[in-house]
Structure 1
């Protein structure tokens, strides 16, 4: 008896392995997937400007990266004792403008440097609703608790999104002809406009991706939204607010992504890295005990073995922690 309507995921003409360079942009769902890639030591850059929810804000961030924009103090604004950027999430804000600029420019410089060698750009849109700062005439990534009278709120049209991204992806492909772009729509619901408003927003995003794939090559789609709505289809797969997805659901979607886009050749290596991560995270009752010290040496040997075969994998944090635990 089949108790699910299983979503079919089209087999892509590429696969991700440990030589792949990835960047993930978009909503907190992009953060969830990006953290999985980071956990397994893939070369991934996640949201260099912080969490972003709508297509135009993602496009703004991509232009900053393409142009190698360096922020100056005049690009910031002060609000309620914090220096903020309208392009950035609040995680970059600070009471010290120099600290704010350092955080912003360090991440943007890294992202710009990675752009030409990226293999896959993953973009997750969460909503078609945007806030436009009237005086600055720009769709913002975050309102930073600036008074609402300074903004105009509206829903993007299909044409708004498609026109923007046809031009933008063209620029990206000029810089990096081998770049592939994978779109997803976040399954997290935006309830501010009610059930119908959320559905209209998600429908706009889905139709925009469909039109872009008709117009452009090397664009792909991963049906995270449909997996949650159709395969899972139950509130037990949601967090307590009934809008965000649970940790179990993130793991489930990651598994569907894993077996669709990641090379089977690296699954064994991922399992080895996962065991190392669990071992390093373990808090022993007695760190100086013989049993635990043998475990530490075993993990150090495993890291050394993997590093010889895969020097691109960064174990610097794990090595430092294990060296401290072993007293070496």
Structure 2
């Protein structure tokens, strides 16, 4: 008897393997997937400027990084004892103006290099709702708890999202013509916008992705994380306590579907090998000084040494 409706997923045209270099951009769900990639020791970087939810803000940061258009004092502001920038996440904010500006601009060299060298870009859009700063008339990535009266709220049209997506891809291709793209919509429910409004937002994002005309974007490049959450895992037991974010069980399941369709079959034995090492590293013995545990550590160290010889970029902490 079937108790759910599994979503058929087309395998990615250019799957990820252990020679791939991945740059994950977007919402907090991009972080969830990046943590899985990190756990299994793929060459992955994630959100150098912090979590970004909307397509326009991702486009703007990619544009800055590709052209190395650095931030100036005009781009930052002081609020609640910290210096902030409307284009980046608040986790980067700093009480020291000079340190904040330098740290932001240092990230551009790193991000430019990552964009140039990455083979795969995993982009996760979270919402089509955006806030526009009344003073600058610019869409912001983060309001930084500035009073809401300083912003207007608007829903990005399907056409504007298409433009942001096209521009993001084309900007990356100017420095990395062989880049491959995997797009997904975050399964996180943005209920603060309203229940109907959340669905409205997701609909705009989905319509924009699937109607964008670009040779890099086919059905083979879309991973349906939102659809998996809505149709396969349609139960509150798969949500965290806030009833908005997928819980660990849901993340693990979506990762499993991602692994089946976006990870190269040739990489799976290595992935399983690393999973075994990670489980062993997380093992907590009753008696760390026992002879049996010391033998266990020797065997584990050999496994780590062997795999690091094959993949020198991998690092483990024993």
Asked if these proteins are the same fold (TM beyond 0.5), I'd say: yes
Is 2:6 the partner of 1:6? yes
Post-superposition CA distance 1:155-187 (Å, at most 9, x none):
111111112332332232222111111111111
| Residue 130 of structure 1: how far off its partner (Å) | 0.2
| Residue 124 of structure 1: how far off its partner (Å) | 0.7
Larger CA deviation: 283-292 vs 236-245: 283-292
Post-superposition CA distance 1:208-228 (Å, at most 9, x none):
00111xx10122211111111
- Counterpart contact for 1:182–1:222, Cα < 8 Å: yes
Post-superposition CA distance 1:76-110 (Å, at most 9, x none):
21101011111111111121224323442343321
SS state at 1:2 partner: coil
TM-score (norm 2): 0.94
Is 2:61 the partner of 1:64? no
- For residues 136 and 174 of structure 2, what CA distance do their matches in structure 1 show? 29
| Residue 73 of structure 1: how far off its partner (Å) | 4.1
- For residues 101 and 281 of structure 2, what CA distance do their matches in structure 1 show? 34
**TM alignment of 1:201-220, pairs within 5 A:** 201-212=201-212, 215-219=213-217, 220=221
- Counterpart contact for 2:62–2:171, Cα < 8 Å: no
In 2 relative to 1, CA 19–228 (structure 1 residues): closer, same or farther, beyond 3 Å?
Answer: same
| Deviation >4 Å, runs of 4+ | none
- Counterpart contact for 2:5–2:231, Cα < 8 Å: yes
Larger CA deviation: 198-207 vs 115-124: 115-124
In 2 relative to 1, CA 287–75 (structure 1 residues): closer, same or farther, beyond 3 Å?
Answer: farther
Is 2:78 the partner of 1:75? no
- For residues 110 and 229 of structure 2, what CA distance do their matches in structure 1 show? 33
> Which residue in 1 is equivalent to 2:23?
23
**TM alignment of 1:118-129, pairs within 5 A:** 118-129=118-129
**TM alignment of 1:80-99, pairs within 5 A:** 80-99=80-99
> Which residue in 2 is equivalent to 1:35?
35
- Counterpart contact for 2:82–2:93, Cα < 8 Å: yes
SS state at 1:116 partner: helix
SS state at 1:4 partner: coil
> Which residue in 1 is equivalent to 2:275?
274
In 2 relative to 1, CA 101–314 (structure 1 residues): closer, same or farther, beyond 3 Å?
Answer: farther
- For residues 275 and 227 of structure 2, what CA distance do their matches in structure 1 show? 28
- Counterpart contact for 2:14–2:180, Cα < 8 Å: no
- For residues 79 and 24 of structure 1, what CA distance do their matches in structure 2 show? 29
| Residue 140 of structure 1: how far off its partner (Å) | 1.0
- Counterpart contact for 2:15–2:264, Cα < 8 Å: yes
Is 2:257 the partner of 1:259? no
RMSD of aligned residue pairs (Cα, Å)? 1.7
> Which residue in 2 is equivalent to 1:326?
none
- For residues 281 and 73 of structure 1, what CA distance do their matches in structure 2 show? 45
- For residues 291 and 17 of structure 2, what CA distance do their matches in structure 1 show? 37
- Counterpart contact for 1:45–1:111, Cα < 8 Å: no
Gaps of 5+ in 2: none
| Residue 74 of structure 1: how far off its partner (Å) | 4.1
Larger CA deviation: 65-74 vs 26-35: 65-74
Q: How many residue pairs end up in the alignment?
A: 315
Gaps of 5+ in 1: 323-328
Post-superposition CA distance 1:232-273 (Å, at most 9, x none):
111111111211111100000000000101011121211221
- For residues 282 and 73 of structure 1, what CA distance do their matches in structure 2 show? 49
- Counterpart contact for 1:49–1:108, Cα < 8 Å: no
> Which residue in 1 is equivalent to 2:138?
138
- Counterpart contact for 1:36–1:254, Cα < 8 Å: yes
Is 2:30 the partner of 1:51? no
Larger CA deviation: 54-63 vs 166-175: 166-175
